[in-house]
């Protein structure tokens, strides 16, 4: 067994590998860029080596620096994690040539399966069903359009070295094909250093189901069941679960055996994932193989009880698999939500900055530790409260994983965990995740990869979430306010005769974006930690178990447990539960009467400016002063968290000024250009 390994990655996955290595008694080496000097994975490792500036192309993607760090520290093996160099056959080969063990498949397997074009040809030769397409690199956008028209729309444009949703577009016509081809090549070149792109038929209403495989150097290979990954937004996974609510045992077995046959065809020796697109009739087609550990590997660990990182290390050290296919259990149901630094209310644009508050829900499961018999909650992360979310890397903050006795139990655990997860300082997709978990269609299991686009066609907005018991949100705000007043009334030294007296009658005031106020009378009675709130004809008996300072509150409502978030904002309360958010003031009847006389201050009109919707790097300004533009025309391109974001004109107009230049770093809401007054 290795005495010391180096993790050629950062963030959550680097921390994850370190935990298993420590369990196995193996010393660890972290590498880090200048932006990650204070990162959690650096603190957790036994040693650390700085490998260059913040951009990944100058640090985490530089093979020579990784190998030099191995030699400097005496690391005998390298675990690549996922992303970066994890599926780079040249890197695996270089590592092997230097006498260092690559904790992953052999470079020949990566070359055969990691290349999407080569893998499709190999799968076809192995009699695995493949999707119709053009499985060769395409050189020009014009040729791409010609091919797409031959296959028939819609088509999927994919980078050969792509993964994680990067270098991938779906096109429904020639214009989208032309533009998508160019964007895919650019993203692929920047993210993977390989700009080859191919095209295949896009199967409508598909399910994305993948099989986890594990092979050793002695000819043994097994499959560790499947993961359902159909809940996706723009081809990036949002929620994963195991097993799939769609498969029957016969289909599960057929897919597993086919995945193993494919892995054996390339002498696969490590953990890997064979991805399939599955039709509504349970027909399945090979999509691609990821020759690395997947982001969503924890759900497989939950249902099998296996530590996949440990298995990868054991296989790399030459050991045989310690179990057969028949000995692999499938217990309960697991789900994972990816918690990303993005603002769902602003089109999921990246959100970077300092984590002012980072308070995960109570955890009972831990990476690399044995599974508790009754399941629980696990959080895999590479961040900490007070740390910085840089703009140079992926947007994922952490992974929230739950394990339950069945799917209903897993959903209930995940909803409670999301409601209790407090992150402040940056925006996250937690409200969106909570809304998805509460959606009846998700609960039924009747969904496909188009679920999010179908259910949120205009994007995710505050109006997208309809809380099933809106009175509960009002009652919770009233109870929280009553508890604050009780604390104030208990402060000693109050002027005699002028002590704070708390009544029962309150008015909840909600003001919408247009300044329209809605007043809701409530009656609140308190007995210790029990608050009885009457809203109209409904009564909510709320018992709060959390202390006053906690944003995440837990308790009972009408005898049923709940978790929610209540935050004081000056004179207002913000209440969040199941993805819904409500901001209100809880006032005395007299104060509510007086507030009606207060004028509403509308936000300033910024329509004549193009503002940066996120922090990022301005990689292109497509217009100049005096240029007339039409609605939908490209104005600028911002790169953030490894993704290109194209900003387009919302209406026809004329550009008056361009205030920033290509190559500048932008802050959120920074003005990029100004339109002439007539365009406003």
Residue 426 parent element (H or E)? none
What's the pLDDT at 101?
A: 98
CA–CA separation, 216 vs 271, rounded Å? 9
**Encoding tokens for residue 283?**
């027909």
pLDDT 10s digits, 191-201? 788 888 889 88
Q: State the average pLDDT for the chain.
A: 92
**CA distance linking residue 291 with residue 271, whole number of Å:** 7
Question: At 204, is the secondary structure helix, strand, or coil?
Answer: coil
Contact partners, residue 189, CB within 8 Å, separation at least 6? 195
- List the structure tokens of 416: 């409670």
Judged by DSSP in three states, 321 sits in coil
Q: pLDDT tens digits, residue range 415-470? A: 999 999 999 999 999 999 999 999 999 999 999 999 999 999 888 887 778 888 99
**Residue range 374-426, pLDDT digits in tens:** 999 999 999 999 998 888 888 899 999 999 999 999 999 999 999 999 999 99
Q: What is the pLDDT of residue 164?
A: 65
CA 680 remoteness from chain centre? 36
DSSP string across 596-607: TTSPP-PPP--T
**Sole residue written with tokens 């990784």:** 66
More confident site: 529 or 115: 529
Q: Are 658 and 673 in contact (CB under 8 A)?
A: yes
Is residue 652 pLDDT above 50, yes or no?
yes
Instruction: Please report the pLDDT score of residue 642 as a whole number.
Output: 67
Phi/psi of residue 585, nearest 5 degrees: -110, 140
| Nearest-angstrom CA–CA distance, 368 and 377 | 14
The Cα 191–Cα 529 span in angstroms is 53
pLDDT value for 260: 95
| CA distances from residue 178 to 167, 537, 647 in whole angstroms, order as listed | 14, 59, 18
Most distant CA atoms of the chain, gap in Å: 90
SS3 for 320-342 is: CCCCCHHHCCCCCEEEEEEEECE
pLDDT surpassing 50 at residue 274: yes
Q: What is the CATH number of domain 132-201?
A: 3.30.1490.20
Look at residue 625 in the predicted model and tell me its pLDDT. Answer: 93
- Provide the token pair at 186: 């650019």
Q: Which residue from 209, 362, 215 is spatially nearest to 279, judged by alpha carbons?
A: 209
Q: Enumerate the H helices of 45-197 as residue ranges.
A: 63-73, 89-97, 107-114, 116-125, 141-151, 174-192
Q: Which CATH architecture has domain 207-459?
A: 2-Layer Sandwich (3.30)
pLDDT band at residue 679 under the 50/70/90 scheme = very low
Give the Cα separation of 218 and 272 in Å (integer): 16
Q: In whole angstroms, what is the distance from residue 28 CA to residue 653 CA?
A: 57
Domain boundaries, the chain: 4-103, 132-201, 207-459, 470-490+499-595, 609-679
Give the pLDDT mean for 274-283: 90
Residue 632: pLDDT band (50, 70, 90) is confident
Q: Tokens in use for 235?
A: 């081809």
Q: Where are the beta strands (DSSP E) in 500-612?
A: 505-511, 517-527, 530-535, 538-544, 552-557, 560-569, 572-577, 580-587, 609-611
The reply to whether 47 belongs to the active site is no
Q: How far apart are CA 121 and CA 141, in angstroms?
A: 23
Distance CA 290, CA 543 (A): 48
Whole-number pLDDT of residue 617: 87
The tokens 């909803």 sit on which residue?
415
Q: Is the pTM of this model over 0.75?
A: yes
Provide the pLDDT for residue 651: 84
| Three-state DSSP class for residue 144 | helix
Question: What is the CATH code of the structural domain delimited by 4-103?
Answer: 3.40.50.20
Is the pLDDT score of 327 beyond 70? yes
Cβ–Cβ < 8 Å for 431, 418: no
Tell me the per-residue pLDDT of 331-343, one tens digit each, with 9 for 90 and over: 999 999 999 999 8
Please compute the mean of the pLDDT values over residues 661-668 and round it to a whole number: 87
591 Cβ contact list (under 8 Å, min separation 6): 507
pLDDT band at 14 (very low <50, low <70, confident <90, very high): very high
What's the confidence (pLDDT) of residue 50? 98
What is the spatial distance between Cα 274 and Cα 226, in angstroms, rounded to a whole number? 9
Q: Is 192 exposed, middle or buried (0-12, 13-18, 19+ CB in 10 A)?
A: buried
* Catalytic hit among 288, 301, 336, 639: 288
CATH node for 470-490+499-595: 3.30.700.30
Q: How confident is the model at residue 565 (pLDDT cuts 50, 70, 90)?
A: very high
* Intra-chain end-to-end CA distance of the chain, in Å: 67
**Closest CA relative to residue 549, chosen from 567, 576, 569, 524:** 567
The pLDDT value given to residue 492: 86
The secondary structure element, H or E, covering residue 320 is: none
E strands present in 366-472: 376-381, 388-389, 396-404, 422-424
Share of the chain above pLDDT 90, in %: 70
Residue 145 has pLDDT above 90, yes or no: yes
- pLDDT over threshold 80, residue 61: yes
CATH number, span 609-679: 2.40.50.100
- Residue 477: per-residue pLDDT: 97
pLDDT at residue 491 is higher than 90: no
Model confidence at 162: pLDDT above 90: no
In degrees and rounded to multiples of 5, residue 166 shows phi and psi of: -90, 140
pLDDT of residue 680: 39
């Amino acid at each position: 067994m290795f005495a010391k390994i180096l993790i050629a990655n950062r963030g959550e996955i680097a921390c994850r590998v370190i935990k298993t290595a420590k369990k196995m008694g193996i010393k660890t080496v972290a590498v880090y860029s200048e932006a990650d000097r204070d990162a959690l994975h650096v603190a957790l490792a036994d040693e650390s080596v700085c490998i260059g500036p913040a951009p990944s192309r100058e640090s985490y993607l530089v093979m020579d620096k990784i190998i030099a760090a191995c030699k400097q520290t005496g690391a005998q093996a390298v675990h690549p994690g996922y992303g970066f160099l994890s599926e780079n056959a040249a890197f695996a080969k270089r590592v092997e040539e230097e006498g260092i063990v690559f904790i992953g498949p052999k470079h020949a397997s990566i070359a055969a399966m990691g290349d999407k074009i080569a893998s499709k040809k190999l799968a076809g030769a192995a009699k695995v069903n493949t999707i119709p397409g053009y499985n060769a690199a395409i050189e020009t956008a014009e040729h791409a359009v010609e091919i797409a028209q031959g296959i028939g729309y819609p088509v999927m444009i994919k980078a050969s070295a792509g993964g994680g949703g990067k270098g991938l577009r779906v096109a429904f016509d020639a214009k989208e094909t032309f533009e998508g081809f160019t964007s895919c090549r650019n993203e692929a070149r920047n993210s993977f250093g390989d700009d080859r792109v191919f095209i295949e038929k896009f199967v409508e209403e598909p399910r994305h189901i993948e099989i986890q495989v594990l092979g050793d150097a002695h000819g043994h290979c097994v499959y560790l069941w499947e993961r359902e990954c159909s809940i996706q937004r723009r081809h990036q996974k949002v929620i994963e679960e195991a097993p799939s609510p769609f498969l029957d045992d016969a289909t599960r077995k057929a897919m597993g055996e086919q995945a193993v046959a494919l892995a054996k065809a390339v002498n696969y020796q490590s953990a890997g994932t064979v991805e399939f697109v599955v039709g509504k009739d349970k027909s399945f087609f090979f999509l691609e193989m990821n020759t690395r550990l997947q982001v969503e590997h924890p759900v497989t660990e939950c249902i099998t009880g296996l530590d996949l990182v440990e298995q990868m290390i054991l296989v790399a050290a030459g050991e045989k698999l310690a179990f057969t296919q028949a000995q692999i259990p499938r217990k309960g149901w697991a789900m994972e939500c990816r918690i990303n630094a993005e603002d769902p209310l602003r089109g999921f644009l990246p959100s970077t900055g300092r984590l002012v508050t980072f308070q995960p829900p109570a955890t009972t499961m831990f990476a690399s530790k044995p599974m508790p018999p009754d399941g629980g909650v696990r959080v895999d992360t590479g961040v900490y409260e007070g740390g910085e979310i840089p703009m140079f890397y992926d947007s994922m903050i952490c992974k929230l994983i739950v394990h339950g006795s069945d799917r209903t139990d897993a959903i209930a655990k995940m909803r409670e965990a999301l409601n209790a997860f407090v992150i402040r300082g940056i925006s996250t997709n937690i409200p969106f995740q909570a809304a998805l978990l509460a959606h009846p269609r998700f609960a039924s299991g009747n969904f496909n990869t188009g679920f999010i686009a179908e259910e949120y066609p205009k994007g995710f907005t505050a109006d997208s979430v309809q809380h099933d018991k809106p009175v509960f949100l009002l009652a919770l705000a009233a109870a929280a306010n009553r508890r604050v007043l009780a604390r104030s009334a208990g402060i000693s030294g109050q002027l005699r005769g002028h002590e704070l007296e708390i009544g029962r009658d309150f008015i909840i005031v909600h003001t919408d974006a247009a300044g329209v106020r809605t007043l809701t009378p409530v009656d609140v009675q308190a007995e210790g930690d029990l608050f009885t709130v009457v809203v109209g004809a409904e009564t909510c008996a709320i018992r709060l178990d959390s202390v006053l300072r906690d944003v995440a509150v837990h308790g009972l409502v009408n005898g049923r447990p709940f978790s929610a978030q209540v935050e004081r904002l000056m004179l207002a309360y913000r209440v969040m539960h199941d993805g819904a958010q409500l901001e209100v003031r809880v006032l005395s009847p007299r104060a509510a009467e007086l507030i009606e006389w207060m004028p509403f201050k509308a936000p300033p009109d910024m329509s004549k400016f193009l503002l940066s919707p996120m922090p990022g790097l301005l990689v292109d300004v497509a217009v100049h002063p005096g240029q007339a533009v039409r609605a939908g025309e490209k104005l600028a391109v911002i790169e953030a968290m490894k993704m290109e974001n194209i900003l387009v004109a919302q209406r026809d107009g004329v550009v008056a000024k361009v205030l920033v230049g290509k190559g500048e770093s932008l802050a959120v809401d920074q003005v990029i250009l100004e339109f002439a007054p007539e365009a406003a």
